[in-house]
Amino acid sequence: MEIEVKNEQIINADGKDSIYTVAYIEFLTILYKYYFFRYHGFMILLQKNCNMNLSSLKPHVENILLEAQLNIDDKLTTVCELLQSTVPYYDWVGFYFRNGDKEELKLKAFAGEPTDHTIIPFGKGICGQVAVSNQNFVVPDVKAQDNYIACSIYVKAEIVIPLFVDGVNVGQIDIDSHTADPFSEEDVTFLEFVNKKVAEIMK
């Protein structure tokens, strides 16, 4: 049924007032998002109390990214929160994207401690290097890297996986860990999957 908004009241196509107001629709949307997040929070607790593996998170990532009631920022933030809360050694999770035509990355979504590094020039640090190389970068020990931007004294390892849309490197997912050398090929494969699904909703 077609509807239009008039003076905060929803008018049906036949000219009759709907029983729903704009405020009521907005309330339902907020309520929906609340229970959507609560559901995924519950699933996170289940994962923590089971033999969690990264593959088991794939359906949750897909469900979040396909959720029609969430905008892209909410989707990316929820994915970050899912990963950071579920994977014990994912202490900070964020998505960086190219900042317009500038040769720099801009932080779009994250979960974990706030960071001052919301803008990263291409070539600087692990993220900046991936923006130029278009290659995965797994860092078992950040202290061994000369070109590294320290985000926290607690960070011991980092993994950055580029995100491609139609073959173009448009951004990346960045994971910081307080655990030394925690990342394996399973992490690489899983994060490539996450980026692939993110790319699908950006086309």
Cα–chain-centroid distance for residue 18?
Answer: 37
- The residues that bridge with 175 in the sheet, in sequence order, are 93, 159
Q: What was the pLDDT predicted at 51?
A: 47
Q: Which helix (H) or strand (E) holds 40?
A: helix 22-48
Pairing of strands 17-21, 168-177: unpaired
Q: Which residues of 162-196 are buried (b: 16+ CB within 10 A; e: fewer)?
A: bbebeeebbbbbbbbbbeeebbeeebeebbbbbbe
Extended beta strands in 47-123, E state: 92-98, 104-111, 119-121
Structure tokens at 155: 């960070």
* 76 CB-near residues (< 8 Å, 6+ apart): 95, 108, 109, 198
Tens-digit pLDDT string for the chain (203 aa) = 344 444 454 455 555 555 556 566 565 555 555 555 555 554 554 444 444 689 999 999 999 999 999 999 999 999 999 999 999 999 999 999 999 999 999 999 999 999 999 999 999 999 999 999 999 999 999 999 999 998 889 999 999 999 999 999 999 999 999 999 999 999 999 999 999 999 999 98
Residue 39, helix vs strand vs coil: helix
How far apart are the C-alpha atoms of 23 and 39, rounded to whole Å?
24
The residues spanned by each domain of the chain are: 1-49, 51-202
Q: What was the pLDDT predicted at 3?
A: 40
In this structure, what are the phi and psi dihedrals at residue 101, rounded to the nearest 5 degrees? -90, 0
**Contact yes or no for 175/153 (Cβ under 8 A):** no
Q: What was the pLDDT predicted at 35?
A: 55
What pTM did the predictor assign? Answer: 0.77
The count of residues in the chain is 203
CATH 3.40.190.80 fits domain 51-202: no
How far apart are the C-alpha atoms of 190 and 203, rounded to whole Å?
21
